[in-house]
């Protein structure tokens, strides 16, 4: 059984099961313990025709983030963010080790000798994955370093217009 949270609302419990039928198997769905009549069919456009009860919808998967277990679905020009929590996720949370499964935030290090042109963040700043944090000139090229994950800038180890060596820690993240 999974828990699905749509647009941050109260999670619902969804259980899928297969039962034998005359043409193979029939998939059944229970939502919060109640059976739901539904069916899907892939359309030539890549969208899905979804039949729930007596209502029909055309749904398109806009984005899938497997790591965060998030799916963005568009139905009737409205976006729905669906978060999925599996039984293993609940077990890890109950055991207090869910955070241990998170990716370690790596400090930003110089991949080669160069000159720090600009530091784009400050200590204590919250950064998001993909945010630019530093510009390093190396081999006559400007290289923009970006955050590899969401983090907080713990310490900036360099100043602008200073030379750095390969492997030197430039920014410490947490």
Q: pLDDT tens-digit profile of 137-158?
A: 988 889 899 888 889 999 999 9
Q: What's the average model confidence in pLDDT over 9-22?
A: 84
- What whole-number distance in Å separates Cα of residue 70 and Cα of residue 46? 19
CATH architecture of the domain formed by 108-173: Beta Barrel (2.40)
Domain 2-100 belongs in CATH node 3.30.700.30: yes
- Which residues, listed in sequence order, are joined to residue 85 by a DSSP beta bridge? 3
| CB 133 within 8 Å of CB 120 | yes
pTM score over 0.75 = no
Nearest residue to 68 via CA among 83, 81, 80, 79: 83
Domain with CATH 2.40.50.100 in the chain: 108-173
- The rounded Cα 72 to chain-centroid distance in angstroms is 11
For residue 99, the SS3 value is: helix
Share of the chain above pLDDT 70, in %: 91
- What whole-number distance in Å separates Cα of residue 58 and Cα of residue 76? 7
- What whole-number distance in Å separates Cα of residue 46 and Cα of residue 48? 7
């Amino acid at each position: 059984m999974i828990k699905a949270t749509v647009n941050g609302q109260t999670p619902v419990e969804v259980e899928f099961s297969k039962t034998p039928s005359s043409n193979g198997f029939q998939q059944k769905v229970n939502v919060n313990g109640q059976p739901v009549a539904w069916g899907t069919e892939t359309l030539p456009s890549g969208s899905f025709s979804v039949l729930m009860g007596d209502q029909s919808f055309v749904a398109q998967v806009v984005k899938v983030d497997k790591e965060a277990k998030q799916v963005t679905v568009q139905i009737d020009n409205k976006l729905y963010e669906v978060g999925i929590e599996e039984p293993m996720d609940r077990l890890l949370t109950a055991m207090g080790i869910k955070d241990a499964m998170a990716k370690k935030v790596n400090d930003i290090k110089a991949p080669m000798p160069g000159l720090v042109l600009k530091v784009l963040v400050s200590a204590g700043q919250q950064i998001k994955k993909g945010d630019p944090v530093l510009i390093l000139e190396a081999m006559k090229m400007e290289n923009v370093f970006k955050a590899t994950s969401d983090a907080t800038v713990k310490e900036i180890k360099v100043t602008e217009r200073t030379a750095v060596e390969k492997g030197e820690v430039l920014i410490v993240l947490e």
